[in-house]
Chain A
Amino acid sequence: MASDDEDQLRIALAGNANVGKSAIFNQLTGLSQVIGNWPGKTVERAEGSLFFEGRNLEIIDLPGIYSLSTFSEEEIVSRQFIAEEKPDVVIDVLDSTVLERNLYFTIQLMELEAPLVVALNMYDQAKKRGIEIDRERLSKELGMPVVPTVAVKRVGLGDLLRSAISVGEAESSRKPKTLRYGPEVESRIEKLSSSLSDRLSDHPYPIRFVAIKLLENDEEILRMISDQDILDEASELRSELESIHGEPASTVITSERYSLANRISSNCQRFIHQPKQELSTKLESVTTHSVWGYVIMLLITLGVFLTIFTLGDWFSGILEQALDLIRPILQDILGTGPLGVIIQEGLIEGLFAGVTIALPYILPFYLILSILEDSGYLARIAFLMDSAMHRMGLHGKAFIPILLGYGCSVPAVLGSRIMETRRERLIAAFAATLVPCAARTIVILALVGKYIGPLYALSLYVIDLIIVFALGRVAYRTLPGRAIGLIMEMPAYRKPSGNVVLKQTWFRLSSFVKMAFPVIVGAGVLIKAMEVVGLLEYISTILSPVTVGLLGLPSVVGVLLVVGILRKELTILMLATLLGTTQFNAVLTPAQMYVFAYVVMLYIPCIATVAALSREFGWKDALYITVFEILFATLTGGLLYRILLFLGWS
């Protein structure tokens, strides 16, 4: 229908979060994935293709959602995609262990009248938990093929594709059957549908869907309908439903869907036995315990960072040695002319820097993140931190991007996606950029930790934490919109699948490289070029009112702050070069070192972070955050310098 190419079949994967949808996607598409954003949205769009039994299949992985309302961008993106781009078939992936809630989503897909196939995923888990599902009955009740699958073990995927192809290629009756609700709701849907069918033409959404959504008071659909008579009729029918039940019409309709889902699931499943799950129950209660939960969380996060740093250091050392072997060879080839220097020290060093950072630190970071996520532990962290995060207006899930920020700001910004609304994503990402990443930690430790004392270094972290909470709160107060709070599924603990974890890590890493490398290398070339033509000294002079006047630092620091945009840890290396010594305490006063570290900690997310921000939220918001942080860091830095002098620091 929608595809121009005769042999190409477009298959969309839809379903709740944590049902193994991405696992199916990864298994099917392998390395052919293209990951980007939905136009104008901060929602990831993953596409891939495969060749299966003589056909080219294009697969689109829709975001994991629980409903097709307008609660989150993901929900809007998903239903727009299904209605407007009309994939040939939609595979609805279900978690067999939670049939009822998953069927609630299936019922909504049926309202959208998409050609459907159901994948009963985690079929083995259901069996293990003593749940027997009558597939034939389910298939009959829903009027669509139902295929049991175990995505992580690649079980049932071939059958799933064959069913999808036969539904996608069927010429007739591609519409799934219409499920009827209770008479009160159904009669009103039909009334509104018949009014709509006379007046509504050329609308991407099916008429019945529009009628239901109008009754549910769906903002998005209300906006699309301009016919006042229809709107009046809808609002009258809606208030009738509301007066019967004393609940909003959307609640009434949701209850109807759930009672259908409940009826179907109880018709089709039997609980044979309740096996004891002592281990996982014990794990669940100890990891969310009001004392031990936090102790375990602390140990795990410390362990994670320790692993990343040791592994990263070791790995980056090896890479550095390898690259040292290549450097002289390149020098011979490129010569020492201005262009040679720019290429070599800008382009190639930028590339090397990316490799020695991205690979050694980001790789283990992503790997561990995938394991934590896949096992279900991240949800427990959100649970434990919800109360604390509420103090800055965000809910528990926001702790995860902030935690990631201590590793690297780029994944932290990308990780803000776990929040539901754009507003909450923006606040979480903003807060995460203020957290000292590994590179900033190097500066703090090498300067303050070494020459003033570890406690002073710690004090910077404490100050930072206060700033993160304070500014997060300010952003929460000033940005328009309202926060909803935490409503999150708590997945049962499960053993992460190595296959899935590795693939996930690979995709995350490659998307990081694609995004960050061009920016790092480009900025590196630019700064080197400025140095070669002698522009950098000017910058120091231009910036000296700020660096010397306001912050009380030596004027050479101006260059460092510019270079620091590229990579924050470069500031410390260059500081040594420019001052001609690594004995920083000989040339800088403690106050200067403290202020310098403070400013570096806050003044700007590095260029790769700005790129990540701009990809997620658009260049405007990225610019606002950047400018704000520069101003904030320099102004409070100046204040800090004066306070320190007042306190008797010299």
Chain B
Amino acid sequence: MNEGPEEYLEALYKLTREGKPVRTSQLANFLGVSPASATQMLQKLAERGCVEYIPYHGSTLTENGEAKGAKMTRKHRLLETFLVSLLNVRKDKAHEEACELEHHLSDEAEEALCRILKHPEYCADDNMPIPPCDSPYSSCAECMEAAEFSPQRRSKPIRPLTSLEKGESAKIAFVRAGRGALRRLCDMGLTPGSVVTMVRSAPLRGPVEVEIRGSRLAIGWGIASKVFVEAVDGG
């Protein structure tokens, strides 16, 4: 979907908040376009199943259209909030910028933006409510928690398990092994987030012996080098 229909859906989303259908003239006015082109676009959107158009009465959003409109509005308002509260961009400028950027913002970036703004409920520009996200999380807390473990967000240096010195402890960040090895490592207790301590390593790329969850494991060098660790919190 290009910018045109997205703008219409966003406008319709805003205008239908009171629960009444929106007249074509009202919409054209809001967007600053001619009623003829508004009618044309509304027909197009109706064909796509986003809009329900009742002649002489007005247009309403279908469930599908509502979701798309909400998504655009959400992106717009998150961007405004980001520009205003984090980057200190002037409010009138922020609105324009957000109008441009919203069409190019991916869902992942939207999610990340929401997290970095600490899941705001209202837009910092005009204090309008930000529509909720459509991610699979059941709560904002869950989303924030997931981000903690997310491989995309790391600030600590990551290194292979094999690089640990004797007696050194580290937290498992992630494992990049094949399916079988990954399962086995997890089953033996090397799950992401758990703490391992190097006991000893054999020479000539021999296996390493580590302590995990109170027991000792020998892991071949090949697999151990695919286990990546980061510094333990506060250590």
Contacts and interface: CB of A to CB of B under 8 A. Distances in A.
Interface of A: 66-67, 69, 71, 97-101, 104, 183-184, 187, 240, 243-248, 250-251, 254-255, 258, 262, 285, 288, 290, 379, 382-384, 386-387, 390, 395-396, 482, 484-492
B217 A487 contact: yes
A482 B183 CA distance: 14
Given A490-B209, A490-B218, 6 more contacts: A250-B183, A288-B200, A383-B206, A386-B221, A484-B223, A487-B218
A384 B202 contact: yes
Nearest to A389: B220
Nearest to A102: B215
A169 B213 CA distance: 36
A100 B213 contact: yes
B206 A384 contact: yes
A251 B204 CA distance: 31
B216 A386 contact: no
B137 A487 contact: no
B150 interface: yes
Contacts of B216: 489-492
B215 A487 contact: no
B200 A285 contact: yes
Given A69-B187, A251-B186, A490 B202 contact: no
B200 A396 contact: no
A485 B188 contact: no
B156 to A, nearest CB: 16
A183 B213 CA distance: 24
Given A98-B215, A244-B137, A383-B206, A489 B188 contact: yes
B207 A187 contact: no
A489 B185 CA distance: 11
B205 interface: yes
A67 B207 contact: no
B149 A247 contact: yes
Nearest to A248: B182
Nearest to A218: B183
Given A98-B214, A100-B214, A386-B218, A484 B200 contact: no
A69 B207 CA distance: 24
Interface string B99-140: 000000000000000000000000000000000000011100
B4 interface: no
A488 B207 CA distance: 10
A485 B187 CA distance: 15
Contacts of A244: 136-137, 142, 146
A305 to B, nearest CB: 24
A408 B130 CA distance: 76
Most buried by B among A240, A262, A288: A288
Contacts of A485: 181, 219-220, 222-223
Most buried by A among B150, B151, B175, B218: B218
Interface stretch (B16-24, B68-76, B189-197): B189-197
B142 A484 contact: no
B234 interface: no
Given A69-B183, A246-B152, A258-B191, A386 B220 contact: yes
B10 to A, nearest CB: 26
Given A384-B202, A489-B188, A489-B215, A183 B142 contact: yes
Contacts of B181: 484-485, 487
Contact of B187 (A66, A246, A387, A396): A66
Counting contact residues on chain B (CB < 8 A from A), the size range is 35 or more
Contact of B180 (A97, A104, A246, A482): A482
13 contacts: A97-B214, A250-B182, A251-B182, A251-B192, A254-B191, A258-B194, A258-B213, A379-B218, A386-B218, A395-B220, A484-B223, A489-B217, A490-B216
B186 to A, nearest CB: 4
B206 A254 contact: no
B219 A486 contact: yes
Contacts, number: 147
Given A247-B192, A490-B209, A183 B138 contact: yes
B214 to A, nearest CB: 5
A246 B184 contact: no
A245 B150 contact: yes
B235 interface: no
B138 A104 contact: no
Contacts of A184: 137-138, 142
A531 B97 CA distance: 100
B135 to A, nearest CB: 8
B8 interface: no
B184 A487 contact: yes
Contacts of A492: 216
Interface in B156-208: 174-175, 178-189, 191-194, 200, 202-207
A90 B12 CA distance: 63
A487 B220 contact: yes
B207 A386 contact: yes
Most buried by A among B187, B188, B214, B216: B187
Most buried by A among B203, B204, B213: B213
Q: Which 7 A-B pairs have CB atoms at the shortest separation, nearest pair first?
A: A486-B220, A67-B187, A485-B220, A387-B206, A490-B216, A254-B186, A290-B203
Contacts of A395: 220
A589 B207 CA distance: 47
Nearest to B108: A243
A486 B207 contact: yes
Contact of A288 (B152, B185, B202, B222): B202
A82 to B, nearest CB: 17
Contacts of A69: 183, 187
A490 B32 CA distance: 74
A183 B139 CA distance: 10
B201 to A, nearest CB: 9
A246 B207 contact: no
Given A390-B220, A482-B180, A490-B216, A255 B202 contact: no
B213 A386 contact: no
Contact of B207 (A100, A290, A396): A396
A69 B209 CA distance: 24
B28 to A, nearest CB: 40
A490 B222 contact: no
A258 B214 CA distance: 13
Contact of A482 (B178, B185, B200, B202): B178
Given A98-B214, A101-B188, A247-B149, A484 B209 contact: no
A124 B137 CA distance: 46
Contacts of A390: 220-222
Nearest to A100: B213
